[in-house]
């Protein structure tokens, strides 16, 4: 009888241990399921689904001469977007010294990454070098054509530029007009003059008289924001 009682108690302990292991296993499975669910949520979080705004330009876009690139107008646009809780990330694709011909050669590589809004800021270096306006116009159009072909649903914006009359009033006038002509032809948004309120203002430009200071870039950011805010 004593043996039977011991056997029963042992069986009860084994049964309890087995039940405990089953519960523990169930808890672990539930935890693993929860972890997988959380991981899935993380990969599909808002950060992973943000749309992309690409600023494609020269030293103005790149923020040449600034101590902090985030002080460039494109960086300030990102800060504005973040403050408003909009699901967009800004890509600064500015290269100092870039001409429209250089941009036309570079755009194919850039288009390997998806974009939703494309802001084209090129031509200033063409004007400073006296490149024929017809050549600048052809290159700007070619860049826009490539973007539209790869991402037909993308919103396109063109940043207008002007140059001083030292290249001649005729050239300066034709150069200024080409931006509106292209914007109208492609039915896209136009920033009339990116450097409005900054160009020619010594206190808002660096020592070279061409590249804006951090304060100048804040004005550029406002010039851009007024045009692109309704696209976001």
Which amino acids are annotated catalytic?
59, 208, 211
Beta bridge partners of 121: 57
Strand locations in the chain (E): 51-57, 88-94, 117-121, 155-159, 189-191
Helix axis angle, 214-228 to 73-83, nearest 10°: 60
Annotate 106-136 with b (16+ C-beta within 10 A) or e (fewer).
ebeebbeeebbbbbbbbbbbbbeeebebeeb
Of residues 210, 130, 215, 144, the one with CA closest to residue 179: 144
């Amino acid at each position: 009888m004593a043996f039977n009682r011991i056997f029963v108690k042992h069986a009860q302990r084994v049964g309890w241990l087995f039940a405990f292991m089953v519960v523990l296993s169930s808890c672990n499975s539930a935890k693993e399921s929860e972890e997988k669910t959380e991981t899935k949520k993380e990969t599909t979080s808002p950060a992973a689904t943000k749309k992309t705004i690409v600023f494609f330009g020269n030293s103005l876009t790149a923020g040449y001469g600034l101590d902090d690139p985030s002080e460039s107008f494109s960086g300030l646009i990102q800060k504005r977007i973040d403050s408003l809780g909009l699901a967009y990330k800004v890509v600064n694709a500015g290269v100092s010294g870039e001409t429209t011909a250089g941009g036309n050669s570079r755009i194919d590589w850039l288009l390997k990454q998806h974009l939703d809004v494309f802001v084209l800021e090129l031509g200033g270096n063409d004007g400073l070098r006296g490149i024929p306006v017809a050549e600048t116009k052809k290159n700007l159009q070619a860049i826009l054509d490539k973007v539209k072909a790869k991402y037909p649903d993308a919103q396109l914006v063109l940043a207008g530029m002007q140059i001083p009359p030292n290249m001649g009033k005729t050239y300066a006038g034709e150069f200024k007009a080409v931006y509106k002509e292209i914007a109208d032809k492609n039915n896209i948004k136009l920033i009339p003059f990116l450097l409005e309120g900054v160009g020619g203002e010594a206190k808002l430009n660096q020592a070279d008289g061409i590249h804006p200071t951090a304060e100048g870039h804040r004005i550029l950011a406002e010039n851009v924001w007024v045009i692109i805010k309704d696209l976001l």
